[in-house]
């Protein structure tokens, strides 16, 4: 991990100085890289803490969208528009349309498209240059912005979760240092009571090769299962836990700004805008199946995790380019970064960006099965 450096700043809303821990080495970006996006480099606010998230009413923007998406996918509004399915079952690429210029009708249709296709990749975007406030405003259209309980962030903007792996900070790789692969499929912070809906990921610095992201369709994963297994899973909940993440952060000397929780979510959830059934378990945060014996739970989760991880015929792998923005629906996908580049090679050694994650509804499964938790 990077050498820990502490700085003092003062916010406009309070007189007490805010203690920040830098998660990068300043001299690398000032002297060697002359980094354009230095304002977005990762820091840790080691003072601000938050109470548990409170329930809120959520209205999926996809519910009011027109199914044929005439405002988003019409060349009448964007003559240079090019829409490509990356695979038959998951992933759509869009060129010739700026996210920063979308109106509300187009955003509604985008929400529905993301729900249907799992992930939508926009190329040649100006999104990373429109400023933090406009970036957050865009995200808020789809739901309240999530603040990560342990992750690095952009200075003064806890809502922008920092994605950083470079020669001065290998923390994201070292956590997996004793494994054969750096990949790990997950749905963002799925332990939350109302876990994320849409996530928006923007990379500011991209390796010329490597550093791809892969997504897996949880709707296709569910559809592939045999009817008896589907029927079994339809009536079960699984525990999603934030405790290992928080405990790992504390062990590594990082600040936990919100205490961890456990939530029991339906294993199969129904998307509010499409009505599609999707698996809602992931190797990152799902720990056990409620109501089963330990051996039964372990065996079934092992089957599902293997299915999710190795189902390459319902996955998509996306190569990042300058100006790429990816938006995905955590309710119908899981994803993983692919850290296959050499962070110590100056020509390929920095992958840096930020993630804006919006919170969604309380998961609802088949026949109204809802998430539950202990107060």
Contact 156, 150 (CB under 8 A): no
Element (H, E) at 107: helix 104-117
Q: Burial of 225 by CB count in 10 Å (0-12 exposed, 13-18 middle, 19+ buried)? A: middle
d(CA 97, CA 106): 11
Q: Which of 168, 188, 212, 329 is the catalytic position?
A: 188
Owner of token pair 């998961």:
363
What is the model's pLDDT at position 8? 35
What is the model's pLDDT at position 7? 34
What is the model's pLDDT at position 9? 35
Q: Which of 186, 224, 317, 364 is the catalytic position?
A: 186
What is the model's pLDDT at position 280? 98
Element (H, E) at 21: strand 17-22
Contact 330, 196 (CB under 8 A): yes
Report residue 199: phi and psi, to 5°: -115, 140
Beta bridge partners of 268: 279
What is the model's pLDDT at position 11? 38
The yes-or-no answer on residue 188 being catalytic is yes
Q: Give the Cα-Cα-Cα angle 11, 15, 20 (nearest 5 degrees).
A: 50
The yes-or-no answer on residue 265 being catalytic is no
- DSSP E strands in 77-217: the ranges are 82-85, 92-95, 119-122, 153-154, 157-165, 196-205, 213-217
Q: Which of 148, 265, 271, 355 is the catalytic position?
A: 355
Sequential pLDDT tens for the chain (375 residues): 333 333 333 333 343 445 667 666 665 555 545 789 999 999 999 999 999 999 999 999 999 999 999 999 999 889 999 999 999 999 999 999 999 999 999 999 999 999 999 999 999 999 999 999 999 999 999 999 999 999 999 999 999 999 998 765 555 455 556 778 889 999 999 999 999 999 999 999 988 889 999 999 999 999 999 999 999 999 999 999 999 999 999 998 899 999 999 999 999 999 999 999 999 999 999 999 999 999 999 999 999 999 999 999 999 999 999 999 999 999 999 999 998 887 777 666 688 999 999 999 999 999 999 999 998
The yes-or-no answer on residue 186 being catalytic is yes
Q: Which of 148, 237, 335, 352 is the catalytic position?
A: 335
* Model pTM score: 0.91
The yes-or-no answer on residue 329 being catalytic is no
The token duo for 318 is: 């996306």
Beta bridge partners of 214: 317, 336
d(CA 213, CA 208): 14
d(CA 279, CA 229): 12
Contact 56, 197 (CB under 8 A): no
Encode burial over 257-296: b for 16+ CB neighbours within 10 A, e otherwise: bbebbebbbbbbbbbbbbebbbbbbbbbbbebbeebeeee
Q: How many residues does the chain have?
A: 375
CA nearest to 109, candidates 60, 162, 61:
61
Contact 43, 157 (CB under 8 A): no
């Amino acid at each position: 991990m990077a050498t820990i450096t502490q700085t003092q700043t003062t916010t406009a809303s309070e007189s007490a100085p805010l203690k920040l821990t830098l998660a990068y080495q300043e001299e690398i970006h000032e002297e060697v890289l002359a980094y354009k996006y230095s304002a977005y480099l990762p820091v840790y606010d080691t003072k601000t803490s938050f109470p548990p998230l409170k329930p809120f009413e959520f209205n999926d923007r996809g519910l009011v969208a027109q199914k044929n998406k005439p405002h988003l996918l019409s060349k009448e509004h964007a003559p240079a528009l090019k829409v490509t399915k990356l695979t038959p079952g998951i992933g759509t690429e869009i060129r010739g349309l700026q996210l920063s210029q979308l109106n509300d009708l187009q955003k509604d249709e985008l929400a529905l498209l993301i729900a249907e296709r799992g992930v939508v990749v926009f190329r040649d975007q100006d999104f990373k240059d429109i400023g933090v406030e406009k970036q957050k405003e865009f995200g808020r259209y789809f739901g309240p912005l999530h603040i990560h309980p342990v992750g690095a962030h952009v200075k003064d903007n806890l809502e922008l979760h920092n994605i950083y792996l470079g020669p001065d900070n290998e923390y994201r790789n070292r956590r997996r240092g004793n494994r054969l692969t750096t990949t790990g499929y997950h749905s963002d912070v799925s332990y939350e009571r109302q876990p994320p809906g849409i996530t928006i990921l923007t990379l500011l610095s991209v390796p010329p090769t490597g550093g791809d992201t892969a997504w897996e369709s949880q709707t296709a994963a569910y559809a592939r299962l045999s009817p008896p297994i589907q029927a079994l899973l339809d009536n079960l909940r699984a525990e999603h836990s934030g405790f290992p993440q928080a405990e790992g952060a504390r062990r590594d000397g990082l600040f936990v700004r919100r205490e961890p929780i456990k939530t029991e979510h339906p294993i199969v959830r129904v998307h509010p805008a499409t009505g599609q059934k999707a698996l809602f378990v992931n190797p990152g945060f799902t720990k056990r199946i409620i109501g089963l014996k330990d051996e039964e739970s372990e065996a079934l989760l092992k089957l599902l995790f293997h299915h999710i991880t190795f189902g390459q015929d319902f996955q998509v792998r996306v190569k990042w380019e300058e100006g790429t923005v990816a938006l995905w629906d955590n309710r119908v996908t899981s994803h993983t970064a692919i850290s296959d580049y050499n962070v110590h090679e100056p020509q390929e050694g920095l992958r840096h960006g930020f993630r804006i994650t919006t919170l969604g509804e309380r998961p609802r499964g088949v026949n109204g099965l809802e998430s539950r938790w202990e107060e």
